[in-house]
Structure 1
Amino acid sequence: MTRLSWISLLGIATLASLSAGLSTTPKNTSFPKPTWKRLSTGSDARFRGLAPVSDKIAWVSGTSGIVLRSTDGGNTWESVGPELSGIDSALEFRDIEAWSAEKAVILSIGEGNSSRIYVTDDGGATWTQSFTNQEPAAFYDCIAFEDAKRGMAMSDPVDGKIRLIETQDGGATWDILNSDGMVPALEGESGFAASGTCLATTAGRWYVASGGVDPGRVFRSSDGHHWAVSDASIAGGEGSGVFSVQFRDAKRGIAVGGNYSAPTGAINNAAWSEDGGVTWVPSTSFPGGYRSGSSWVPGRFNIALAVGPTGSDYSLDGGRNWHGFDNSSLDSVECVKGDVCWASGEKGAVARLVFV
C-alpha cells in the first residue's frame, strides 16, 4: 500500500474517531503499519539527543561527546561535535535543538560542571560553551525552545524546587530563573534525561515531566515563570514516572513513561490531557512497555508516536489507545511537518518512518 493511501486512511480514521467522541479504538483495522527504516551512522554511540529540521536535515547527539549531522536525509553523517579532550571527552549530550544545518544547541548532562550547554552557528565547525553549571546539587536533563531565541533548560530540584535557566538570545547566554514561582518538588522527585522531552513547550506554554514519586507528575506554566503541577496518572517511584510530555496545542497533551528497570511493563505508562495538563486520564490501551520519548505528528489530528527500548507505538486518538508496530530499541522520536518522523537510540541507531 502506498504512503498516500496510508495518509488517506489515517484521515478517514481520524474523522471517524472525532465523530465518535474519541472514546474507543478506531474500528477500521486495515491500516498499513508504519515501520522504521534504519540509517547507517557509522557510530556506536547512544543517541538520546535528536533534532530533525526537515526531511533532509537532522542532528543527533549522544555518548562520548558525539554529535552527528546529516543534510541528505540520513544517507550520510558528519561528525560535528565540539572538540573535547581528557575527561570532557566522556560528556553525554542527552539533548539537542536545531533550526537549520548551521544552528544548533546541545546539552550535556551530569552533576556539577558536567551539565553544560554549547551553541554553534556554523554547522558545528566551531562551538561556544555558553553555560556551565556551578551548583553542586543541579543536574540538567532537558532543553526546549519556543522559537529561535527563547529557550529553557531544566534541572533536578535545587533547594526543593525544579531548577530552570532561560535564554533570550538563542542559547548564547543563560540566566537562572527565580524559583519563587515554581511549586515545591516532592521528596525524591526528579526528571529523566532519556529523550530530551522531559521539558516541552507549545503555544507559549511550558511543561516539565517528573518521576521518582508515585504517581509521576507534570508541571505546567503559561509563561515559564509561574508554575502549577498535577498528578499524571502514570505509575512512578524510583526510576519510574513520566519520561516524556508533549502538547499538540494549548489544550491537548500526551505523557508517556514507565519504569526503565522493568522495560516490558505495559500498565499505567501513558496518559492524555485535554485541558492543558490540569487533569490527566490514563490511556485505555497502553504502549507495549516503558517509553522514553514521544512526538505528535504535525498536521495530523490526534496522531502521535512513542518509543522505548522494547519497541514503538502509535496512537490515532490523542493518546487514548496505543498500537505497537516495531520491537526495536529506540530512545527518542520527533516529527516535523510533511509527515517526516525521525528516531534515534542505542548502538548508533537513527531511523526514518516509512509505511508498509
Structure 2
Amino acid sequence: MRKISFLLILLAFACKESSKENTAGNLENNKSEYFSSVETNVILEDDSLSVRAIEVIGQNLAFAGNNGMYGLYNSTQKTWKTNIQKFDTIVPEYRAIASTSNDFFMLSVASPALLFKTGDSGKMELVYKEEDEKAFYDAMVFWNDKEGVAMGDPTDECISIIITRNGGKSWSKLECENLPQAAEGEAAFAASNSNIVVKGDKTWLLTGGMKSRILFSPDKGNSWSVFETPLIQGKSTTGGYSLDFYDEQTGIIIGGDYTNAEGNKGNKAVTKDGGKTWKLVAEGKAPGYKSSVRYVPNSEGNEILATGFTGIHYSKDGGNSWEKLSDEGFYTLRFVNDTLAYAAGKGRIAKLIFR
C-alpha cells in the first residue's frame, strides 16, 4: 500500500471550510423538491474490506476500517491514498474516526483500544491506549479544533467517555462518579460511527442493548444527564444504533435488532425538545433495522435518509413515513451537500447522487 502523504491530508483539511462554503454551487447539487431515486457509483471495491466509519472532508472522503486499513479519497482527481496502521503485531479494526481543521483521528474497537492522530512526522501517532479487557469504543467527534469526545461500552459502572481539550494530543477518561450509572447490559453499537451528535456546546450520546438511552451534556462533557427512549430493548442486539440532530431541538434515533432485520416496531423515534422526550414514528411500518440515519441538509428537518445492509430508505415528512430508494446496502452514510453523499459497507465505498 502507498503511504498517505501528511501534506495531502493537511491540504485536504485546510480546504475543508472553504469547500463547505462552496458546496451550494457544486454541479452535482441539483436537488429537486424530493428524492425519487439514487445513483450509486462505487469508488472503492475490496471484498476483504469492511468500513463503518467515514468522514467527509470538503469534497473529499476519509475512512478507516478493518485489517488496519485507512485512506483518503481525492474527489477531484478520483484517486485513493491508502495505508495500513498496525500496533506491534496487532492489526486493529477501526470503527470510529473524526477530524479537525488540522488533523485526522481513528479509534479501534476491542482491547487494547488504540486512538491514532496524524503526526508531524507524516505517520499516524498513538495518542491514547486503553488495555481494559472490556474496552470497546464506538464513536468519536470533535466540538471544535481543540475539544473532542469518544464513547464506548462500559468497563466499569458507566458508559466509557474519553475527552481531549488540547486538539487530540492527549485524552482523559471520565470517572464514573461524574456520569450516569449504566444499566445492566447497557452498551453501544459500533455500527456506523454515529452514536454521538454535537451542536454547539451540546452533546447527545446514544446507548443500546439491554437498555437504550440518551446521555446528554449541555457543556461539552463537563456535566451529564440521562433521557429514556421508547426503542425496543432488553436484548444485547436491540436498541438504538444511530443518532442524528438537524438542530438543537429536532433529532432522530434509529436501530432495532440486527438479528431481526425486518422487525419494524420500536426502532424509530424522533424528538422535538432536544432529546428530553422521544416519540415512536412509522410504528409497525418499514423500514426495519438500520445502522445509520442522517438528516438531508437544507431540508428543515423534514427529509431523512436511513441505511443498513437491507438498503436505503427515505422520509420526506420527518420520519412519519418512509419509502425505499435502493436495495443496495451500506453500513454508514455521510452527506457532502443536499444531493450528494458517500456511503460505506461490506467490501465497498460509494458516491451516492440523489435525484
User: Which bracket does the TM-score occupy, shorter chain normalised?
Assistant: 0.7 to 0.9
Q: What is the CA distance between 1:43 and its match in structure 2? A: 6.0
Q: Which amino acid aligns with 1:161?
A: C
Q: What is the CA distance between 1:83 and its match in structure 2? A: 4.8
Match of 2:186 in 1: 189
Task: Summarize deviations over 1:80-131 as a string: whole Å, max 9, x none.
Answer: 3435552x12x1001111346x7310010103x2x11000157x94111000
Relative to the length of structure 1, the TM-score reads 0.84
* 8 A contact 1:288–1:310 mirrored in 2: no
What is the number of equivalent residue pairs in this alignment?
325
Q: Which amino acid aligns with 1:75?
A: K
Q: 1:59 to 1:3 in 2, by over 3 A?
A: closer
Q: What is the CA distance between 1:50 and its match in structure 2? A: 0.7
Higher strand share: 2
Task: Summarize deviations over 1:131-156 as a string: whole Å, max 9, x none.
Answer: 00133333222111112221111121
Unaligned runs of 5+ in 2: 1-26
Match of 2:50 in 1: 46
Q: What is the CA distance between 1:292 and its match in structure 2? A: 0.9
- Which segment drifts farther, 246-255 or 67-76? 67-76
What is the alpha-carbon distance in structure 2 between the residues aligned to residue 135 and residue 311 of structure 1? 36
Q: What is the CA distance between 1:207 and its match in structure 2? A: 1.2
Residue of structure 2 aligned with 1:59, choices 31, 44, 62: 62
Match of 1:350 in 2: 349
Task: Summarize deviations over 1:175-215 as a string: whole Å, max 9, x none.
Answer: 1123333111111110111111112212321111111125x
What is the alpha-carbon distance in structure 2 between the residues aligned to residue 4 and residue 44 of structure 1? 32
* 8 A contact 1:333–1:343 mirrored in 2: yes
Task: Summarize deviations over 1:304-327 as a string: whole Å, max 9, x none.
Answer: 211111111122233333222111
Match of 1:167 in 2: 164
What is the alpha-carbon distance in structure 2 between the residues aligned to residue 9 and residue 136 of structure 1? 50
Q: 1:137 to 1:276 in 2, by over 3 A?
A: same
Q: Describe how 1:151-230 pairs up with structure 2 within 5 A.
A: 151-214=148-211, 216-223=212-219, 224-230=221-227
Q: 1:244 to 1:305 in 2, by over 3 A?
A: same
Correspondence 1:118 to 2:116: yes
Match of 1:27 in 2: none
Q: 1:69 to 1:4 in 2, by over 3 A?
A: closer
Match of 1:336 in 2: 336
Q: Which runs of 4 or more aligned residues in structure 1 lie more than 6 Å from their structure 2 counterparts after TM superposition?
A: 2-5
What is the alpha-carbon distance in structure 1 between the residues aligned to residue 77 and residue 321 of structure 2? 31
Q: Which amino acid aligns with 1:108?
A: S
Q: Which amino acid aligns with 1:9?
A: E
Match of 1:304 in 2: 304
What is the alpha-carbon distance in structure 2 between the residues aligned to residue 173 and residue 163 of structure 1? 16
- Which segment drifts farther, 193-202 or 317-326? 317-326
Residue of structure 2 aligned with 1:273, choices 254, 271, 281: 271
Match of 1:26 in 2: none
* 8 A contact 2:119–2:125 mirrored in 1: no
Unaligned runs of 5+ in 1: 11-30
